[in-house]
Amino acid sequence: MRRTLFLIPHEIAGLPFFGVGWLLAGLVLYVVIRLVWAARQPDSPGNSGNSGNRLGSVLRSESAVWIFFALIVVIVLPRLELDNVAGEPVGLPIRGYGMFLMLAGIFSVSLAAWRAGRAGLGADSVLRLVPWTFGGGLLGARIFYVIQYFDDFLRPTWGETITAMAALTQGGLVVYGGFIGGFLASAYAISRHRMPLWKLGDVIVPCIFVGLFFGRLGCLMNGCCYGGACEPNALSAEFPPGSSVYVDQMLNGEIIGITATVPTDEPKTGDEQASDKNSNEGEESRGPARWLVQSVAAGSLAEKAGIRSGETVSMVLDPGYARLAPPDIPAEDALPGLAVIRDGDLVARISPTELPARAAPVWATQIISSLVAATMLFVLLMLERILRRSVRSPDGVLMLCGFIAYAVLRIILEWVRVDEAGQFGTALSISQWVSVVVILASVVALVVRVRSHRPTSIGDSQAT
């Protein structure tokens, strides 16, 4: 896990990098050089215009772009900086999650454009869809996440709630929402430009698995979408302090050697359910939970604190240690301690330095998903070669098979992940229910496509 790849510092040599500072000075210097260069350009043949005309032309054509970037530098970027525990800006984070999403976009679009050229559709047919696909996908992924975890975004005012919902730098995207949003937006664009939907679908869908391969590695960097507890193995991962799984294991006592269950005489509250959920929200959203201690590991921190089997205790994040963090690190990297409470009394305060350096192993579903995505890409490309030899195969079969394959695999992977609770009174998560719908709809569409397709005969091929 590496949530922040690096931090662009707030100040360099005492001058802010963003806002009215180094970056704005660099933009002004570029504008000056651009204007000087334009003024010194020789007149083109047949054009006897003077340097004033050339400068005016440059200003008219480019000034709006310069103003746009200046507003971003002065207004937008400073608002994206992270603050330390004192509320002072320390720098702009370059996220590992965002970096891998960028790689996902670059490689998936490049492959789709190449495949479209080979299919006779032209690379531009894919490039026209890029803004629609990514815009709709990003919007759909965020909306799906916000709906799924709506209570986590509620704030005292509507403005704060909307700001929290729009804070993409904090993570929180659902792949299925991205697929749905991207597909609907792309379908609209395809219809608008009168392009062949089914044929383009066959071209694009395998490339989605390239994006999924990199996207899930981004989840690994962000520490989200992890699996359930397991024994150490080649497909397990141990996350560092500050990660969602580490905080979850702090709050259920596993990190200090406790095995516990929810007391049978007390229903699980919404706060306790939130503490179990693998989310990208801050630690402040995780409430205290009461746990019935089943066992205490010998020599563990829990045993040293005097906790015994059969007791009911609560684990609460202790922010007192986080407030002691150095001023040059973001507040999100300031680690809390752990407070253990029994019968309303404080049993122990455990500092971050006393806690283990890693969380207990969990299934690395991010890596598993990436490997599955790479495998599915290979399988779909092999299936495509087979379908090309069949005269009974209509356009769209590869796309629908890709939808079905991903939905089936997602159902299986959801049993390993622990971040989504069952819905509608069943053990199936919301993603599994969506998978069921996708499978049924895709199977129906596949049957209709195959039955309505007129096989291409040899004579037809010669005629064309």
How far apart, in whole angstroms, are the C-alpha atoms of residue 200 and residue 119?
A: 9
- Angle at 231 (CA atoms; ends 245, 243), nearest 5 degrees: 15
- Residue 168 pLDDT greater than 80, yes or no: no
pLDDT beyond 90 at 428: no
Task: Work out the pLDDT band at 159, boundaries 50, 70, 90.
Answer: confident
Question: What percentage of the chain carries pLDDT values higher than 90?
Answer: 44
Each residue's pLDDT tens digit, 302-350: 999 899 999 999 999 999 998 889 999 999 999 999 999 998 899 899 9
Sign, CA dihedral 43-44-48-54, equals negative
Counted residue by residue, the chain has a size of: 464
359: pLDDT strictly greater than 90: yes
List, for residues 76-109, the tens digit of each pLDDT value.
999 989 999 999 999 999 999 889 988 998 999 9
Distance CA(185)–CA(191), nearest Å, equals: 10
Q: What is the mean predicted confidence (pLDDT) over 355-367?
A: 93
- What residue has token string 């664009």? 189
Mean pLDDT, rounded, for 12-30: 94
Average pLDDT over residues 149-156: 78
Helix ranges, 8-95 (H): 22-40, 51-71, 77-80
Dihedral sign computed on CA atoms, order 327, 329, 333, 335: negative
At residue 269, the pLDDT reads 43
The residues spanned by each domain of the chain are 4-94, 239-350
List the structure tokens of 438.
Answer: 């996708």
Q: Which of 132, 229, 210, 237 is nearest to 406 (CA)?
A: 210
Check residue 436 and report its DSSP letter.
H
The predicted model gives 395-408 an average pLDDT of: 91
- Give the residue ranges of DSSP H helices in 119-227: 123-127, 130-148, 158-165, 175-192, 197-222
DSSP code for 254: G
Our CA angle for 229, 230, 234, nearest 5°, is: 130
Tokens linked to 31: 């504008």
> What digits encode the pLDDT tens for the residues 58-79?
788 888 889 999 999 999 999 9
> Where do we find the tokens 């525990």?
85
Angle (nearest 5°) at CA 278 between 276 and 280: 130
- What pairing do the DSSP bridges indicate for beta strands 289-296 and 312-318? antiparallel
Least confident of 185-199, 275-289, 321-335, 358-372: 275-289
Average pLDDT, integer, range 242-257: 92
* 8 A C-beta contact, residue 435 and residue 407: yes
